Amino acid sequence: MERHTAESSGEGGRGVEAAAQGRQLRRLLQHADLPAVAESRKVMRDALRGWGVPGLADTAELLTSELVTNALQHTDRGAVLTATLSSGIAPRSRRLRVEVRDFVARHPRLRSPGDQVTSGRGLLLVQALADAWGVHPEGTGKVVWFELSIDAA
C-alpha cells in the first residue's frame, strides 16, 4: 500500500446542501456544528453505497469524521467537504478522494498524544489508514485530503 504525506507551505449553511451529483459529493459545514460530523459520516456511507463501493464506507467514514471534526473545532469559520470517486482504467487508479477545505492557513500537524489523552489521534489514523494524504494551501485557507484505493476495497 502506497502512503505518503504531502505538506505544502466556503462557507455555507448547515450541511443541508449535501448533494451527491454523479460521483461527487459536496457538503457545506458551519463552524462548530459538531452534529454535522455524524451527518457527514451518514452522507458518505450513503454516497459510497450509491456509487457501488460500500466496502470503502467504514474507513472513509472514520477518516472523513476526523478531518471534518478538525476543521470545525480548530478553525473559526465553516468548511467544505468534497468526496470524488474517480474511475480510472489502470489498476490502482480507481480512487476515492476526500477533501476538507477550511479558511485558516495554519496546517494541522501530527501529534503523539500520551496514553491518558483523549484526543489528538485523528491525523495518526489518517496516516495509518489512507493510501495517500496531505495538505495544500487554497485561497485564504487549506485543503486536507486523503485517498483510498477502490480496488483494495
| Alpha-carbon span 153 to 147, nearest angstrom | 12
Task: Name the nearest CA neighbour of 98 among 140, 68, 70, 122.
Answer: 68
More confidently predicted of 66 and 31: 66
Give me the pLDDT at residue 87, please.
Answer: 77
Instruction: State how far the Cα of 29 lies from the Cα of 100, in Å rounded to an integer.
Output: 10
Q: Which residue's entry shows cell 457538503?
A: 27
Q: What is the pTM of this model?
A: 0.79
Distance CA(59)–CA(116), nearest Å, equals 25
State which H helix or E strand residue 67 sits in.
Answer: helix 57-74
Q: How far apart are CA 7 and CA 58, in angstroms?
A: 26
Opening angle at CA 46, ends 143 and 80, nearest 5: 20
Whether the pLDDT of residue 1 is over 70: the answer is no
pLDDT of 153 above 70: no
Q: Which of 40-44, 104-108, 126-130 has the lowest mean pLDDT?
A: 104-108
Helix axes 122-129, 57-74, angle to 10 degrees: 150
